[in-house]
Chains A and B, each alone.
Chain A
Amino acid sequence: MTVTELKQLINARDMTPSVSTEREVSCGYTCDLLSWVMAHGEEGMAWVTVQTHLNVIAVAVLADMACVVLPEQIDMEEESLKKAESEGLCVLSSPMTAYEICGLMASQGIPAHT
């Protein structure tokens, strides 16, 4: 599934319009503890988190993730979005809860690990 298809699946807003959404999502994850995500993040991952500060972008970029997904229509700080765009990282915001987003991703065959 590509980020474009994920965006449609979870009815999300694209918060980083200048970034391509053609990238393939290889696996899914949800966690708000950044150190924990550093230990378990994988390449191509769609990471669902309520955290929105700059370090979220740093973690996602270092792990070479496909996108960051914010649940419950959470907005991200402008500074973080700018950083995401400059790093080529896609950020989506969905009206669904993290539980619903992960449930949908799993039902469409996105695994927990690559």
Chain B
Amino acid sequence: MEELFSTTYPVAQADYVTAGKASADIKRRLKQLGVGGDVLRRVAVASYEVELNLVIHSLGGELTLTVFPDAVQLVSADVGPGIRDLAMAMREGYSTANEEARSLGFGAGMGLPNMKRNADEFDIQSEYGKGTTITMRFRLS
């Protein structure tokens, strides 16, 4: 289906100061487009989780928001390092976050499961040594 709107946010590794900026902007833009309620909240939570995953775990990447007439799509693509054990990473409570991230209250091992729970469709492709791409879709009813 034809896209109504698309924008991409670069997200830097270990930038905890501006972390959450892309998600806040995504929420604001969707609000402007008339998206609200439960869908807006689920997109906001999932976009923040995926943005923080880029900050905590990746070597940097980007987050792309695309709005279709019937759905919102978020795609996170990073430049590495990729996930060594994807099955473990999808488990609640499993985390490889470093001390800096943990000291800020991250690293509870909830990120990926939380994204999956909030999105209507969730897909993750990762190759260790290369990178990770996460695609999430949220239906607009």
Chains A and B belong together in one complex: yes
- Taking Cβ atoms with an 8 Å cutoff, the residues of A that contact B are 32-39, 41, 43, 49, 51, 53-56, 58-59, 61-64
Q: Which of B24-47 contact A (CB under 8 A)?
A: 24, 27, 41, 44-45
Q: Is B1 an interface residue (CB 8 A)?
A: no
Contact between B19 and A38, CB atoms less than 8 A apart:
no
Chain B residues closer than 8 Å to A32, beta-carbon distance: 105
- Choose among A35, A36, A41, A53 the residue with the greatest number of B CB atoms under 10 Å from its CB: A35
Of B17, B24, B48, B109, the contact of A38 (CB 8 Å cutoff): B48
Contact between A62 and B24, CB atoms less than 8 A apart:
yes
Chain B residues closer than 8 Å to A54, beta-carbon distance: 16-17, 19-20
Q: Is B111 an interface residue (CB 8 A)?
A: yes
Chain B residues closer than 8 Å to A39, beta-carbon distance: 45, 110, 113-114, 117
Main secondary structure of the interface of A (DSSP, over half): helix
Q: Is B76 an interface residue (CB 8 A)?
A: no
- Taking Cβ atoms with an 8 Å cutoff, the residues of B that contact A are 16-17, 19-20, 23-24, 27, 41, 44-45, 48-49, 52, 104-111, 113-114, 117
Contact between A38 and B20, CB atoms less than 8 A apart:
no
Contact between B114 and A62, CB atoms less than 8 A apart:
no
List 17 additional contacts besides A55-B20, A59-B20, A62-B44; criterion CB under 8 Å. A33-B105, A33-B106, A33-B108, A34-B104, A35-B52, A35-B110, A36-B110, A37-B105, A38-B49, A39-B110, A39-B117, A43-B41, A53-B16, A55-B52, A58-B19, A58-B23, A62-B23
Contact between B45 and A63, CB atoms less than 8 A apart:
yes
A68 to chain B, nearest CB (A): 13
Contact between B41 and A63, CB atoms less than 8 A apart:
yes
CA distance A35 to B109 in the complex (A): 7
CA distance A59 to B44 in the complex (A): 9
- Which residue in chain A gives the minimum CB-CB distance to B105? A34
- Which residue in chain B gives the minimum CB-CB distance to A53? B104
List 27 A–B pairs whose Cβ atoms lie within 8 Å, in order of A's numbering.
Answer: A33-B105, A35-B106, A35-B108, A36-B108, A38-B45, A38-B110, A38-B114, A39-B45, A39-B114, A39-B117, A43-B41, A51-B104, A51-B105, A53-B104, A54-B16, A54-B17, A54-B19, A54-B20, A55-B16, A55-B104, A55-B105, A56-B105, A58-B20, A58-B23, A62-B45, A63-B44, A63-B45
